[in-house]
Amino acid sequence: MESRLRRLEAVQEILLEIGQLSNSCTDITVFLQSVHAALGRIMYAANFYVALSERDAPGNAVRFVYFVDEVDDHPYKDELLQLASPDQSPTAWVMLNKQRLVMTGDEQRARDENDVFGIGTVAEHWIGCPLMDQNHEALGAMVIQSYDKEHTYSEEDQALFAQIANHVSSALQGLQSMDRLERAVRERTLELEREVAERSKAERLQRALYEIASLSASASAESDAKVLYARLHDIVGSLITARNFLVGLYHPKSDEISIPYFVDEKDMEAPVKRFEYGLGMSSFVLKKRTPMLLDGATFAGLMASGEINEPLGNQGIASWIGVPMLVGEQALGVIIVQSYDASVLYTQAELDILAFVANHTAAAIARTRADLAIRRAKAELEEQNRALATALTQLQTAQGELVRQEKLASLGRLVAGVAHEINTPLGICVTATSHLVEELRLCKLDMAEGVLDEDGLHQFFDTVDQSLKIMTTNTQRAAALVRSFKQVAVDQSSDNIRHFNLRKYLDEVLLSLQPKLKGKPIAVKVDCPNDIHLESFPGAVSQIVTNMVVNSLVHGFEEGQQGQIRITGKLDGDHILFDYSDDGIGMDATTLQQLFDPFFTTKRGSGGSGLGAHILYNLVTGPLGGTVKVVSSPGMGLHYHLRFPRDQRKI
């Protein structure tokens, strides 16, 4: 009766908490996360999700706004989908029938024999409750489930879950209204951002045109002309796609065209540096004295008609622009931009931009004085990049050294613990030896004095027998500790691959960790067959298990808290599936996202370095060549899922 009253009080607290959250919380996901945590205080709630209708979307659209599951990943993360029929989905059945649905695993499997009913792993017990608004219309569905036959839901649990669902429904109505308002604000914000982007584009065009115009006011030397053209290429490239860019200058005295600037994806250098007027596309543009826009077919037609005489360079163009540089009636040269990519086709707008560029460039051909300053700025930028690259290399080296020091520190702590543990059996052996020496001295004395009788001799033999048993037991215990520590220590300091039995090695690692587990109410259970053999890095396995156990002891359990650690290993073809879990305090989604970040810890100043999980992740994905997934939520403990190859020599 007292237990029932306490549970009812907890339920009342949860309902009050839901009401308070509905007034203070503005984010639906955060609200449901709090509901989930509260629900876990009164019943088993390791697997919990909420699906909500999207009334602003066409059809019966739903979104799974909250999803936590021990087995399955989120099936529809950030997706809007149409609601299935009630015969295909238990969630749809709950929403469309507006009724609670309770299923056992056997019942769902029986349904699946006729037709698939839902997706994902079949739960041993499944409860879904509709979320209703004040007009008795379905807002969505709230579902809790268990994959473990040891955790099922009583009728009282089902009634409490339905009652909580009613209160959640009331809270969600207000939150959804706020959510719709926030979405409207976000949509308007996106529109404003698009307007800003368009204005930014216009400003960029205006700035580029100003820079082009300023080139004509920059006095320069002829030797710096290439810098001018490179700057010109950059300006054009900021306005249109210009991966292939050519500047040709016309020399009327020799009736020739030179190519002072040439950048092309197909050719490293210009086919010719100087050629007579009349050849190639440059001559064609200068002859026409008008901007030209060609595609591949038009270019081929001009070639066939003979209008283009001996084209120079690669002819596999997809789109081509050529504009003359004119000062009055005088032709100074030509600018050509072309594309070999069928997805990059030029239009009249690009042609107009390039024509404008050509007009201003004609007045700035011999002027590069301002661009000398740009060259110096570029050199300074390159120097800064080199300095930043050097600083980054030093930072990465320092980080690697810190990780190495953390691994050595972990090994040092292991040494201290094992040394302390060995002192006990060795001390007992020393005491037993001292006692045996004293008994031997007394026996010899009695024999010398002639007072040693049969009873005294038997008593001496009993003492010797007991002492030897004590010494044998404790020396064996010390030897086992030394052997385990020796192998684990050698493995942690070695990067070599060797053959080892997974179960026996786990036992050795856990034996070396006994000093840390000693005196703590934490039970460690290992479920691993005795016939799993690996050709891999035992040091990595040892470090991973050590970091997992130490992290559980430091972060997962409060001082004096009872708990359990489960370690499971099994074969999956040529891979090992390695699961580690504890039933400690767990962590929220924000902390979980930073779990593997270097130097992140929730126990700064209390024994946490912030490198344990980071080293664990690097060892799994590096030497072991595997993957690691982690699942946790407040009050649900922490679960690692590792998968890595059994034989590293085959990789």
pLDDT tens readout for residues 19-73: 787 777 778 888 889 889 989 888 999 999 999 888 777 777 888 989 999 998 8
* Alpha carbons 640 and 15: distance in angstroms, whole number: 33
282 and 341 belong to one structural domain: yes
Query: Comparing 243-252, 369-378, 578-587, which segment has the lowest mean pLDDT?
Result: 369-378
Residues 94/122, Cβ–Cβ less than 8 Å: no
Q: What is the mean pLDDT of residues 351-366?
A: 79
Instruction: State the Cα–Cα distance between residues 458 and 453, nearest whole angstrom.
Output: 9
Average pLDDT (364-379) is 61
| pLDDT class of 293 with cuts at 50, 70, 90 | very high
Give residue 401's pLDDT.
Answer: 62
| Same domain? 476 vs 528 | no
The 3-state DSSP class for residue 627 equals strand
The whole-angstrom separation of Cα 206 and Cα 215 is 15
Please compute the mean of the pLDDT values over residues 536-548 and round it to a whole number: 86
Give me the pLDDT at residue 481, please: 56
Per residue in 98-108, pLDDT (tens digit) is: 999 999 998 88
Given 488, 510, 532, the domain boundary residue is 488
In a domain, 176, yes or no: yes
Overall pTM > 0.75: no
Mean pLDDT of the chain: 81
For the stretch 424-430, contacts whose Cβ atoms lie closer than 8 Å and that sit 24 or more positions apart, written own/partner, are: 424/474, 425/473, 425/474, 425/475, 425/477, 425/478, 425/481, 426/474, 426/478, 428/470, 428/471, 428/474, 429/470, 429/471, 429/474, 429/475, 429/478
Q: Tokens 């086992």 sit at which residue?
A: 480
Residue 259 has pLDDT above 60, yes or no: yes
Q: What are 328-348's pLDDT values in tens digits?
A: 788 889 999 999 998 999 999
Report the side by side order of strands in the sheet with 319-327. 274-276, 256-263, 244-251, 330-339, 319-327, 292-295
Q: How is 30-59 classified by DSSP, letter by letter?
A: HHHHHHHHHHTTTS--SEEEEEEE-TTSSS
- 220 pLDDT above the threshold of 50: no
570, 526 Cβ separation under 8 angstroms: no
Mean pLDDT of 123-152: 91
More confident residue, 244 or 396: 244
Residue 30: per-residue pLDDT: 87
What's the structural domain count of the chain?
4
Residues 551 and 455 in one domain: no
Contact between 188 and 148 (Cβ < 8 Å): no
pLDDT band at 400 (very low <50, low <70, confident <90, very high): low
User: Average pLDDT, stretch 449-478?
Assistant: 74
Strand order in the sheet with 563-572: 522-527, 563-572, 575-582, 638-645, 627-632
User: Residue 579 is part of a domain; what is its CATH number?
Assistant: 3.30.565.10
Distances (CA, A) of 64 to 54, 82, 116, 376, 633: 10, 11, 20, 56, 18
* Residue 14, in any domain of the structure: yes
Is 273 part of a structural domain of the chain?
Answer: yes
Q: Tell me what the mean pLDDT of segment 203-221 comes to.
A: 63
Q: At residue 521, does pLDDT exceed 60?
A: yes
Radius of gyration of the chain (CA): 39
Q: What are phi and psi of 145, to 5 degrees?
A: -150, 160
Average pLDDT over every residue of 453-476? 74
Is beta strand 292-295 parallel, antiparallel or unpaired with respect to 274-276?
unpaired
Least confident of 87-101, 372-386, 593-607: 593-607
Q: Is the pLDDT of residue 645 over 90?
A: yes
Which whole number is the average pLDDT over 246-274?
A: 89
Phi–psi pair at 614, nearest 5 degrees: -65, -45
Q: Is residue 587 pLDDT above 60, yes or no?
A: yes
In a domain, 75, yes or no: yes
Q: 255 and 109 in one domain? A: no
Query: In the prediction, which pLDDT does 141 show?
Result: 93
User: In which band, very low, low, confident or very high, does the pLDDT at 433 lie, cut at 50, 70 and 90?
Assistant: confident
Per the CB < 8 A criterion, the answer to whether 522 and 575 are in contact is: no
pLDDT at 484 over 60: no
Closest CA to 556 of 580, 578, 539: 580
Q: In whole angstroms, what is the distance from residue 64 CA to residue 317 CA?
A: 49
Q: Is the pLDDT of residue 547 over 80?
A: yes
Residues 565-593, mean pLDDT to the nearest whole number: 92
Give the percent of the chain with pLDDT over 70.
Answer: 82
pLDDT at 629 over 90: yes
Measured CA to CA in angstroms, residue 416 lies from 49, 394, 410, 485 at distances of 47, 32, 10, 11
Three-class DSSP category at 437: helix
Domain end among 306, 329, 346: 346
Residues 54 and 169 in one domain: yes
Give me the mean pLDDT over the 193-217 stretch: 71
My answer on whether 102 and 248 are in the same domain is no
Helix, strand and coil content of the chain, in percent to the nearest 5, comes to 50, 20, 30
Per-residue pLDDT tens over the stretch 157-177? 898 899 989 888 888 877 766
Does the pLDDT at position 421 exceed 60? no
| Average pLDDT score over residue span 551-574 | 90
412 and 342 within one domain:
no
pLDDT of residue 583: 92
CATH code for the domain of 114: 3.30.450.40
Statement to judge: residues 484 and 525 lie in one domain: no
Question: Would you say residue 370 has pLDDT above 50?
Answer: no
| Percent of the chain's residues with pLDDT above 90 | 23
Residues 482, 502, single domain; the answer is no
Which two structure tokens, joined as six digits, stand for 604? 């700064």
Q: Print burial letters for 109-128: b (CB count within 10 Å at least 16), e (below 16).
A: eebeeeeebbeeebbbbbbb
Q: How far apart are CA 552 and CA 434, in angstroms?
A: 42
Predicted pLDDT of residue 142: 95
Give the E-state strand segments of 76-223 in sequence order: 81-82, 101-104, 125-132, 138-146
Q: What is the pLDDT of residue 198?
A: 75
> Residues 135, 13: one domain?
yes
Of the pLDDT bands very low, low, confident and very high (cuts 50, 70, 90), residue 110 is confident
pLDDT at 477 over 70: no
Verify that 164 and 246 share a domain, yes or no.
no
pLDDT at position 393 = 79
DSSP string, 192-223: HHHHHHHHHHHHHHHHHHHHHHHHTT----GG
Is residue 600 in some structural domain? yes
For 431, the domain range is 405-488
CA separation for the pair 578, 527 (Å, rounded): 10
Domain end, chosen from 182, 209, 235, is at: 182
| DSSP single-letter state for residue 290 | S
Instruction: Tell me whether residue 391 is in a domain.
Output: no
**Residue position matching structure tokens 């390159």:** 382
Residue 209 lies in a domain: no
The amino acid at residue 249 is L
Whether 177 maps to a domain, the answer reads: yes
Is there a single domain that holds both residue 165 and residue 275? no
Q: Please give the pLDDT value at position 428.
A: 65
What local confidence, expressed as pLDDT, does residue 640 receive?
94
533 and 502 Cβ atoms separated by less than 8 Å? yes
| Element (DSSP H or E) covering residue 570 | strand 563-572
